[in-house]
Amino acid sequence: MDNCIFCKIVAKQIPASVVYEDDDLLAFKDINPAAPVHLLVIPKQHVATLSDCTEEHTAMLGKMLALAPKLAAEHGINVKTGADGQRSGGFKTLINSGPDGGQEVYHLHLHVYGGARPWRGLGT
């Protein structure tokens, strides 16, 4: 898609700090992180917004979400369970959709946030 910044990242026309790539997905660091770890997971194929997704996108959406815990583990923000059963760590996943959803870049992306708090503008 012309003039889509994330398509240009997929095409390596503009640089990004890529943390994962396969045939279908790309994940990279957000340029303006709101948390110590702030990653974006995108489909390589241009889809503007979650609002455009239907059942035919189920596999791709599943892959995007399933990648989040793998990336979280690689970046030390996965949920950990101590010997006493207490959980620590963890991360937040978010997809903004449309103007009312706070979407700024119209190429579908899943945010993955984690690390020491506070996180900018993300509440609890």
Residue 107 annotated to the active site = no
CA pair distance 58, 3, nearest whole angstrom = 26
Please select the residue that binds Zn ion; options are 20, 36, 44, 46, rule is CB under 5 A.
46
**Neighbour tally for 34: CB within 10 Å:** 15
Name residues contacting ligand 5GP, limited to 10-49 (CB under 6 A). 16, 28-32
Q: How far is CA 37 from CA 61, 79, 86, 116, in A?
A: 21, 14, 22, 9
32 interface partner picked from ligand 5GP, Zn ion, none, CB below 5 to 8 A per type:
ligand 5GP
Considering beta carbons, is residue 4 or 65 the nearer one to Zn ion?
4
What is the contact surface with Zn ion in residues (CB under 5 A)? 1, 4, 6-7, 46, 107
